[in-house]
Each structure stands twice: as structure tokens, then as C-alpha cells.
A and B are shown apart, each in its own frame.
Chain A
Amino acid sequence: MAATIAAAPAAPSRHFRRLLPLYLPLAVFLVVTLFPFYWMLITSLKQDSELYNLNAPQFLLTKPTLEHYDYLLTKTLFLRWAGNTLLISIVSTAISLFCGILAGYALARLRFRGAGFLGVAIFVTYLVPQTLLFLPLVKVVQQLGLSNTLWSMMLTYPTFLIPFCTWLLMGYFKTIPRELEESALIDGASRIQAMSRIVLPLALPGILSAGIFAFTLSWNEFIYALVFTTSQEIKTISVGVVTELVKGDVFFWGSLMAGALLGTVPVAIAYSFFVEHYVAGLTAGGVKG
């Protein structure tokens, strides 16, 4: 408020005065942040003859080509990996939302013996990093006969998605007034009906952001996908690009960068819709714990 009032008479000089303390450092941050993406883009569009020639101009494109994209899409299983990644992300997100909605509702609304303990237990699993358990999980996945299947990922990704979904949704359910449900109960609705007809529709924004967040986390997962799979056909984008586009010691940098870029675009789009919800959910859930 104060800033806008002061700004009105002398706008140009204000911008000049803000250049050094504000826009200059912001520009530095921005260049450092975006440079690797710029580098991915121009590397993926350069011809090999230019790419591996230190005397050619490095920062600019002179003869752009789509040959690396062509190679990636026709000579590798990239599209297959993309399909796998999409399928795994959708299924594990659906499983996690289902479990998270039910558990979140129970923890937010119902008084039952052990609820406090359960809440703490779920919060603790939220803090368990995937890398702590990946070796025994390889064994467990084998015991269940899931090695080298998409199910190995669809069923294990929820371990890091359910805790998040539960906490975020618990917060949402708590913001919905109890009275709405109670009047439905008086009118003869069952608990389940009160939940599915009254509470769920109101919690839709929360469910949506939990879903998008779970989707992007699944999309970005790496270590489980790396250790549970052996055949090319069931790899995900991250694992496929990192392990299959390197032959021996030879790196196909052009198509590697093309794959990295194409694998990033879907999550970038998904995220841009819901940043606010994600941050709010994460910090609120954490502080309460």
C-alpha cells in the first residue's frame, strides 16, 4: 500500500533505484536457474558435427536439427517409457488418493482408540526416505513375484505418497464445518454417505492438489524404478534415459538432452497449476506434526 502511493509520482527513478538491490540479483538468480535448461534445449537441437567441435560457437544454434528427437522417438523405447511412467503415475496416484482420503477422513473426524498413535505413525513414514529401504524392498518385491513388473512400482510408490496425501487431506477435512455432516446424519444419512456426499465434494480442491502432487512425485521417482526393473520394456523415462541412452562409455548427448527435456515438460505443466496448494499443504502438515 505505502509503496504504491510513494511510487506514483516518480516511477522511472524508482525503477532505477530498485535496479541494484532487486532486479540485478534477481537476474543473476534467474540466469543460473535457467541456464541448464537452456543448455539442454540447444544441445538437443545441435548437429553432432557442431556439438563435438570446440571451435564452433557454443552458446548459439547455427544449424538447428531435430535428428536427436527423431532418434529418441523412433530408435529407442522412449515412447514406451513415457507410457509406462504415465500409467504408473496414474495408478499409484489413484491408490494413494483412495487410501489417503479414507485415512485422512478417519483421522480428522472420527474418535477411535489409537487414532493419535496412527496419526504419528503415518507422519513418521512421511519422513522415511526411499533410499533407507530400497534393498529389503527388492527382496520383498521378489517374494511377492512382482520383480520386473509395472506393479512393483504401482504398489511401492504409494508408500511415500499415502503419508503426504493423508496429512494434506486431513488438514482439508478439518476446515469443513462438522455441522454440515451432523445435520446430514440427523436427516438419516449414514456415515459413509455423509462423507461421500457432503465432505468429499467440499474437499475437492484439496484432493486435486494432493493428486497432482502425488502424480509429479511418481513421475520423478528414480531409485525404485531403477532397482525393481531389468528389462528395457518396463522402464520409466528417468531410468530409461539414464541407463539405455548410454552405450558402453559413449554418451549420446543430443538425444540424452532431448529425452531429459521431453521428460520434464509434463511435470512442469502439472506443477504450474497448483504450486500454492502444495506449499500450503506441506508447511501446514509439517507444523502440526
Chain B
Amino acid sequence: MDAQRVERARTIARPGLWWWTPLTEREGTLGWILALPAIAILLVFIAYPFLVGIWLSLSSETVANAGEFVGLRNFADQLQSEIFRNTVKNTLLYTVVTVSLKSALGLALALLMNQQIRAKNLVRAAFLLPWIAPTALSTIAWKWLFDSTYSIFNWVMIQTGFAPWIAPTIVGHVFSIGPRGINWLGNGTWAMIAIIIANIWRGVPFFAISLLAGLQTISQELYEAAALDGASSWQRFRYVTLPLVQPVLLVVLLFSLIWTIADFQLPYVLTGGGPTNSTHLFSTLAYQIALVGGQLGQGASVSLFMFPFLLATVASLLWYMRRQEV
């Protein structure tokens, strides 16, 4: 289609309002006009807050006090703080452990669901539930499952005699397992394990469903050809499935890493960063310092510490994807 002819035909056919029509008919201006509402909202509620956040992190602002410019002092203070350094460790541990387990379990579940199974749609809907349920609400259920007195896991450990049996031994001592079971949310290490378990439970469906979509695009003929060439089932997985599912896996990893590093709802509801600040992630610590403690500047600096981690994650994954495409 000849663009100029279209343009001419349009100008002739459309009398309309002389000052309005040309603007909406010229692609150069119409593009920006159409994008304007989106740009306006993103500028006001993302770009501007980002600048405000940088300013806050460089100021001594508190809830009661407007504060003044203090340079990088908030960042320096945080780096000195034991709680902050512990938070960085927690975030790294939480992210690495949950994302690797979610990838492995998600891939396993996707491979299982890619077989011919009965009631496939029902099964798939059931597997999606943890992902689609509002996290704050499903985490409340986990909080109850990990209750210090009524935890069902402890109840089972007591009823089977496991907890009373293991408690007096060295193993019970090392792993803090008492005769009444585990004090899940009252012990720093177990509380960390608890949020990791809940996170994996919530995140596996996202990996599984996305990877399943990737698996379904792989042509069956490739497997048949590989089988004819004498490839074992492991070899078919390693040299056919994995390389072909990799693009989807990378995208899923990208999102999951961002969401996990920045996670708030789950640790906030399950442990609130406790006991004694032992399970904070960046976001829960920022919330605690800024909105519970009123130190807005300090809190904003904790939030912004997340930024280099996110940037490094996104940059390395996008770079890797580009390299794969070439």
C-alpha cells in the first residue's frame, strides 16, 4: 500500500475540524496523543516518586520533622547496622533458595502435566490456586499452620512420637526441636525456613504453568527423531527439552527474581520481620523503619538499596537473553 496515496485520500475525504483532524491524522502527533494518558500516570506515580524517593533517602526527614539534606549518611548508617546487614543476607538467601527450588519443582510439575493425564483442566486449575489466591490471605493460612501451639505440623510430630523422641537427642538440640515440636515463628532460623516454604508453595504454580506453555510448543517430531537416533530419555530432556524451554524459563526467572527480591506481603504477614528482626527483607525493614519507626529518610534508603540488586538481576538476564538470540 502506498502510504502517500492513503494520506492524500484521507485528507480529501475528511473535511472535519481543520485544527483537530490534522493532529489526529498525522502519525507523528497521534502516537504521542494516544500514549499521553499512560505517560501522564507513569510520570506522576512512578517517575516523580522515584525522584522523591532519592531525595528522601538523602534527607533526615521523619514523620514529625521535614528534615534536611544529609548526603549519603542514611546509606552509611544502614551499612553500619547489624539489622540491615542481616537483611541483605536474608534477602539473598531467600531469593537464591526459593528461586532455585521453584525452578526445579516448577519444571518437574510442568513435565508431569505435559503427559497425558486424566481431568487435565481440573488438575491444572487446582495447581494454580496458590498463585492466584491473594498472597496476604493465603499467608494467613500459613501463619495458622505454623502457630506456636496449634501448628498441625507440630501436632503430627507429637502424635507420632517424633518430637518427644528427638527432643532430648543432639539432633533435637541442634535443630531446636522440643517435645512440643518446633517453635516455627518464634525461632529466627525456623521462621526463615517458614517464609521460604510459604514462598515456594506460592511460586511453583507460576513456574509450572509458564513452563508448561513452553513445553507444549515443542514439536513431538523432535522427540521421535531423537528417539530414532537412539537418544535416551535423559538425553532427550537435556538436548531437546531444556534448550527449547530455555527462553520461557529465562523470562519466568526474570519476573520471579524481581518479585522475590522485592517481596513484602508474605514476610510481612507471616513474621513481620521477627522474631527480633531476624527475617526482614528490604521491603519489610523499610516499612518498619519508615512507617512504624517514623524515620522516613532512613526507610527510603533501605528501599533504594534494593535498586542495585534489581538492576543487576535485570541487566544480566536481559544480556543473557540477547546473547542467546544471536
Contact = CB atoms under 8 A, between A and B. Distances in A.
A162 B201 contact: no
B76 interface: no
Interface in B241-267: 247-248, 251-252, 254-255, 258-259, 261-265
A222 B135 contact: yes
Interface string A179-201: 10010011110111000000000
A103 B46 contact: no
A211 to B, nearest CB: 16
B300 interface: yes
A190 B306 contact: no
Contact of A186 (B6, B132, B318): B6
Contacts of B116: 3-4
Interface stretch (A32-40, A64-72, A202-210): A32-40
A257 B141 contact: yes
Contact of B42 (A122, A187, A271, A289): A122
B112 interface: yes
A32 B56 CA distance: 43
A156 B34 CA distance: 20
A148 interface: no
Interface string B271-313: 0000000000011001100110000100110011011001000
Interface string B117-161: 100000111111110111111101111110101101001000000
A100 B14 contact: no
A239 B264 CA distance: 13
Contacts of A159: 41-42, 45-46
Interface string B145-188: 10101101001000000000000000000000000000000000
A161 to B, nearest CB: 10
B314 A127 contact: yes
Contacts of B303: 131-135
Contact of B45 (A29, A30, A137): A137
A26 B35 contact: no
A280 B10 CA distance: 36
Interface residues of B, number: 108
A112 B282 contact: no
Contacts of A229: none
Contacts of B108: 25
Q: How large is the interface on A (under 10, 10 to 19, 20 to 34, 35 or more residues)?
A: 35 or more
B67 to A, nearest CB: 12
A238 B41 contact: no
B132 A267 contact: yes
B52 A22 contact: no
B309 to A, nearest CB: 10
Interface string B13-42: 110100001001101111110111111011
Interface of A: 1-4, 18, 22-23, 25-26, 29-30, 32-34, 36-37, 39-40, 43, 51-52, 54, 58-59, 95, 98-100, 102-103, 105-107, 110-115, 118, 121-122, 125, 127-140, 155-156, 158-159, 162-163, 166, 178-179, 182, 185-188, 190-192, 216, 219-220, 222-223, 226-227, 237-239, 241-242, 251, 253, 256-257, 259-260, 263-264, 267-268, 271-272, 275, 279-280, 282-283, 286-287, 289
Given A135-B299, A263-B137, A275-B209, 12 more contacts: A26-B117, A33-B130, A99-B41, A106-B31, A129-B310, A137-B49, A138-B291, A188-B13, A251-B143, A253-B150, A263-B134, A279-B210
